[in-house]
Amino acid sequence: MRTTSILLSFLIGITCIPYSAHAQQTAAVTVDKGAYCGPPYAACFTEATRSCEGGEDTHPFSLALEMRGYGSGYSPGEKQGLAAVLQSSRPALQFRRKSPFLAGLFSMVIPGTGELYAGSYWLAGLFAALEGAGWYFNLNERKLGDEKTVEYEEYADSHWSVVKYAEWLNENAKNYPGGENAVHIDIHSDTDLPHWERVDWEQLHQTEMAIPQFSHKLEPYGEQQYYELIGKYNQYSYGWDDKNEGDYWDASPRFLHYSSMRGSANDHYNTANTIVNLIVLNHVASALNAAWAAARFNEFVDLRTGAQLRRLPDGRADLHANATLSFHF
């Protein structure tokens, strides 16, 4: 592992200033006598044993630091560690660690957001792009499937009739095993009525169930199963207007064409469902990657800070603040 460190040093010269004067840590700035500076390092320096007005040096030079907001009225007899006060007063300079759990949760909901949180911007864009593309193609495939569905339903309404199918059953049901239990299906004579309203559906179902070779009973007009059955099972081939007789197993051209139209619509829906599965996979992959990226970020970046007060030969005090930013590769 190779570590690259950036050392940031801030130096400040502090001169002897009157009681209650305030000083602020600022890079390359010396606070002169009587100067005033505000937070973040607001402090009150009090001369304990030496007068700033030219008194004699009788004791070692000392400084007491009082944080603003912690009260005033420092007593010369009170002793407080300067290093401890500096430690409590300086602002937090460390990078906030990234939570792998939150990163994974963000990307599980919206792919790419966890990577963005963890600082992996290129992968954030990639997962977000995949998410957008997935939903675009999913919606497009469903739209194409809906259009094909409308087409084959209109085709069926034009070329398949339950009246024609019922008429075939009335004439031929008795020729199949179990046909003796079939009933006659009443058909309304008013041709102005829609074909699905001219047939007694209860009698139709009774006849269909009487013959074991007929595996299904026709669902009501307009149902999804209605449109599926008439293009899937041979018992319904006689309802198509291009088949009046012939072998039961020989499907008519329109029966086959209709089946192909339905198959095309189903292909679009199946593709849309496959894309949904890929979208879910994208969510999972993005969540795992985001959690890993957050963990890697915590290992990659390390920032350490510190501060130290140094006594100069001329009696001044220099405050040295440092920050070490490390990147691990």
Flag whether pLDDT at 81 surpasses 60. Answer: no
Question: Residue ranges of the domains in the chain?
Answer: 3-91
Assess contact for 183 and 209: CB atoms under 8 A: no
How distant, in Å, are the alpha carbons of 22, 23, 95, 155, 194 from that of 78? Answer: 19, 20, 36, 99, 104
Amino acid making up residue 262: R
- Other residues' Cβ atoms within 10 Å of the Cβ of residue 265: 20
Flag whether pLDDT at 3 surpasses 50. Answer: no
Task: Please write the tens of the pLDDT for every residue from 271-305.
Answer: 999 999 999 999 999 999 999 999 888 876 555 55
Task: Please write the tens of the pLDDT for every residue from 168-205.
Answer: 999 999 999 998 999 999 999 999 999 999 999 999 99
Assess contact for 179 and 171: CB atoms under 8 A: no
Instruction: Give me the percent of the chain exceeding a pLDDT of 70.
Output: 63
Q: Residue 303: CB partners within 8 Å, gap ≥ 6?
A: 93, 94, 95, 323, 324, 325, 326
Flag whether pLDDT at 29 surpasses 70. Answer: no
Q: How confident is the model at residue 249 (pLDDT cuts 50, 70, 90)?
A: confident
CA 29 to chain centre: 48
Flag whether pLDDT at 49 surpasses 50. Answer: no
Mean pLDDT value across the chain: 75
